[in-house]
Amino acid sequence: MYSLGVVTTVLMLVYEPGIYLGLLVFAIWFVVFIMTLKVLGDARKEVEKMTSQK
């Protein structure tokens, strides 16, 4: 996130509409982050099912 902020800031200083590119990259990152959290949660549930004592 820090590097995205730095790159977006520099891009805005050089090319003002660069903010839209930065926002697009952030939006894609956010979607991937949410998907990753969902997959990790599902994997945790599967491990709990496999290791539960019946």
Ordered by start, the domain boundaries in the chain are 2-51
**Average pLDDT of the chain to the nearest whole number:** 89
**DSSP assignment, residue 54?**
-
Q: Are 19 and 13 in contact (CB under 8 A)?
A: no
- pLDDT bucket at 18, cuts 50 / 70 / 90: confident
Does residue 44 surpass a pLDDT of 90? yes
What does pTM read for this prediction? 0.71
Burial class (CB in 10 A: 0-12, 13-18, 19+), 45: exposed
Using one digit for the tens of pLDDT, what is the confidence trace for 25-41?
A: 889 999 999 999 999 99
- Please say whether the dihedral angle defined by the alpha carbons of residues 33, 34, 39 and 44, taken in this order, is positive or negative: positive
Look at residue 53 and tell me whether its pLDDT is greater than 70. no
Q: What is the structure's pLDDT at 52?
A: 84
